[in-house]
Structure 1
Amino acid sequence: MGEDYRLMWQELGLDLEAHDALLGVLGQAYGDIYLAQKNRPLGMSYFDFVMSEVHGLRIRELLDEKKAGRKIIGSYCVFVPEEIALAANATLVGLCSGADFAVEEVERLLPRNTCALIKSSFGFKIGKVCPYLESADMVVGENTCDGKKKAYEILGKMVENLYVMDLPQVKSEHGKGLLKAEYYRFKKAVEQLTGIAVTAESLKQAIQTVNAKRAAIHRLSALRKADPAPISGLDALLANQVFFYDNPARFTESVNKICDELEQRVEAHQGVFPERTPRILISGCPQAVPNWKLPMIIETSGAVIVGEESCVGERGTRNLTSETGSTIDEMMESLVDRYFKVDCAIFTPNSERLDHIKEMAAAYKADGVIHYGLQFCQPYLMESIPVENALEEEGIPCLRIDTDYSMEDVGQLKTRVEAFIEQLR
């Protein structure tokens, strides 16, 4: 990237040497994805461009928005409603947490046996390598788990404007009431940040904008049900990851464009893998950029990933928000209804998630499910055995993988994944 970008990064306070190292990791990891695939859809060139400019042009756009008076809000979780941010004239972006960084420094603040995702988010801050985080006027955390809840007490001393959202842990009317109260509290905080009040008109438009993003992803997901698969799981995952970074309207247009191409492939019976290639559904923890380790192993071991039951996947996008409301209160109620359906592993009871995994396995004609858990992520690791048992009752093979962001276990994981795929054959 050019010298003007380096000046931009320097103005944001990034550690340029460390940031160059991070870009090298990103470039190598994404290059491996590119080289591992054949017959990629032409529409993926847009997402290739996004990845090449993920810390360049997109950051420049966000800084230009800030100069024009718009506020940038960074988020770590799909429970933070983008609709409210957009309605108050702010931009919501996902924050970096998909790779190990500054591990030794992080472990001076957090226990070594802390979830890799939490440690990663701290590493990006301590290492000063995430321009999205440094661009944000407000950083939104959420107490989805005990690890995050306690970690935010420490992160709050490192981030200038940290807002923590309280989330329910029980699927009940009381829990839904808590989520509603928190969304109204968030709305007030965003209005104070931007100085712009949410109106019925602006909220309606924001809901329509985010619904269009999700509808585009729904269209992409539906096309992955075809055999042969018209797009690889790696490329589909990339689209789901870019969902959190890109300009909403541009993202929607780009996903629909690639779907036009994929529809032609399906009609012509063309795929990126041969017909009857073993089909895998990944379930479990979110996979943020550049966490491509497990998908890369799966799709270079003779299988194709056809769906993700993940926050960076169908769990995060599958429901749309009702557009029937005309008042702010009616639309806020619709937002609460929509987000309360997200079946994160923090909830108890959480039978809806088990049902959803089985439904996805059937809909996507998956031959097997790989449950992906990050080490020390208690909620998803605790649910992994019930998931495996529920799938076995349905006769669906399941492989449980517990790993982190390092590459040290790649050989071991590949051996296990290859054996699982051979079992599916």
Structure 2
Amino acid sequence: MELRKELPEVFEEFAEARKNSFLAIKKIKDAGTPIVGVFCTYLPREIANAMGAAVVGLCSVSDETIPDAEKDLPRNLCPLIKSSYGFARTDKCPFFYFSDLVVGETTCDGKKKMYEMLAEFKSVHVVQLPNSQTEDGYELYRKELIRFKEVLEEKFEIKITEEAIAKEIKKRNGINRALTRLQYTMAQDPAPVMGLDIINTVYGSGFQMNTDTLEETIDAVTDKIEKEYQEGKNIGKRPRILVTGSPSGGAALKVIRAIEENGGVVVCFENCTGMKPLAEVDEENPDVYDALSRKYLSIGCSCMSPNKARMELLEKLIKDFKVDAVVDLVLQACHTYNVETAMVKKLVKDKMGIPYTVVETDYSQADVGQIQTRMAAFIEML
């Protein structure tokens, strides 16, 4: 067995993807390509991609612009909302600056009100999201997706065909299969690499502008990991942690670092930067809008009530990845995820019989020492 110590070169391209995409976005804009900014995994990128638009993620994960945001927004608001608004307000994010249309979705009350303020200085369209995964909900969301398509057609003076959407569905399914395969390399014990490398790769893939070759690029990463694992390269035996909870990335990765710097390894990310949004769209469904509605609305976000899909996915992932413990990462003032901690704890501790803890944090670095101490004690207990 060879213990892996260095950052594998295979991850470097994805780790730099967000920075590189800042440089690429102006070239795309100058070439006349429409740019659509989105916030959430509930919004099907396939529809905007079908008209040839570049789709960029807008959720910001830094505290840099939060003081600017707090000039308009309350301090006791979710840091993701404040950060996103702050970057738009200050023009410090090229994605916001160059977006021809910003698309929001009604996942939480804070976001809904923020979109109203954002619309004062950006072109904004809000997709109304049902709060339950029922047949009525699927039909409502199907109509919203058609309305979204019509908004794009009117704004950009272009026709979006169902054939073009079906082509993008197939492409996105391939990308999601590749991302799933990559993350499932961590089901091996001992784990082949550190979890931070995997999540940076998955997160970075969302900023790759050329989606035509993205599936092959991700598969190449997975092929290399599997080849080196067969040659005996891995990180050695460590307690295996699953991370669930609020959307995480950027500054929130301090929790992942604390887990792994204190002897654990994050083998699975259930949240929306990980496994949560990777189910495939039914390519056999002749109604592309119904197919998209059913796939995307099935995502187990805490804004859904009831949220059975999250609990079912968590139970499956705990088994598949041979998890030793679960860490629930909750952003401050993210009320729906905070309320669900009681339900997750019941599943993890009472039903699955494994340790569980909650970490509530924001995007500042003020609590890094406290988180390090807590995660060290938690890993030691395991």
Q: TM-score category by the smaller chain?
A: over 0.9
Deviations 1:89-132 (A, max 9, x none): 21211014101123333212111110010011012122321001
The one of 140, 155, 174 aligned to 2:118: 155
**Distance across 1 between alignment mates of 2:205 and 2:252:** 15
Q: Calculate the TM-score normalised by the size of structure 1.
A: 0.85
Partner of 1:283: 244
Task: Tell me if 1:320 matches 2:280.
Answer: yes
Partner of 1:262: 225
- The 8 Å contact of residues 230 and 266 in structure 1, kept in 2 or not, is answered as yes
Distance 1:51 1:148, change over 3 A: closer
The one of 364, 367, 382 aligned to 1:406: 364
- How far apart are residue 51 of structure 1 and its match? 4.6
Partner of 1:384: 341
Partner of 1:299: 260
The one of 374, 388, 392 aligned to 2:331: 374
**Structure 2: runs of 5 or more not aligned:** none
- The 8 Å contact of residues 118 and 148 in structure 1, kept in 2 or not, is answered as yes
Task: Tell me if 1:331 matches 2:288.
Answer: yes
Partner of 1:59: 25
1:38 maps to amino acid: K
- How far apart are residue 251 of structure 1 and its match? 2.7
Distance 1:334 1:378, change over 3 A: same
**Distance across 2 between alignment mates of 1:47 and 1:174:** 39
- The 8 Å contact of residues 106 and 119 in structure 1, kept in 2 or not, is answered as yes
Partner of 2:310: 353
Deviations 1:383-419 (A, max 9, x none): 0121012111120111101000000001111111111
**Distance across 2 between alignment mates of 1:378 and 1:340:** 20
- How far apart are residue 290 of structure 1 and its match? 4.9
Distance 1:313 1:263, change over 3 A: same
SS of 1:196's partner is coil
- The 8 Å contact of residues 343 and 350 in structure 1, kept in 2 or not, is answered as yes
Q: Could you tell which deviates more after superposition, 99-108 or 370-379?
A: 99-108
- The 8 Å contact of residues 138 and 290 in structure 2, kept in 1 or not, is answered as no
**Distance across 2 between alignment mates of 1:325 and 1:175:** 18
2:111 maps to amino acid: K
**Distance across 2 between alignment mates of 1:418 and 1:91:** 42
1:41 maps to amino acid: P
The one of 16, 19, 33 aligned to 1:70: 33
Partner of 2:321: 364
**Distance across 2 between alignment mates of 1:200 and 1:249:** 19
How many pairs were matched up? 377
SS of 2:250's partner is coil
Runs of 4+ in 1 over 6 A off after TM superposition: none
Identical columns (%): 34
- How far apart are residue 49 of structure 1 and its match? 4.2
- The 8 Å contact of residues 330 and 337 in structure 2, kept in 1 or not, is answered as yes
Deviations 1:130-171 (A, max 9, x none): 001111000011110111111111111131x11111101122
Query: What CA RMSD, in Å, does the superposition of the two structures yield over aligned residues?
Result: 1.6
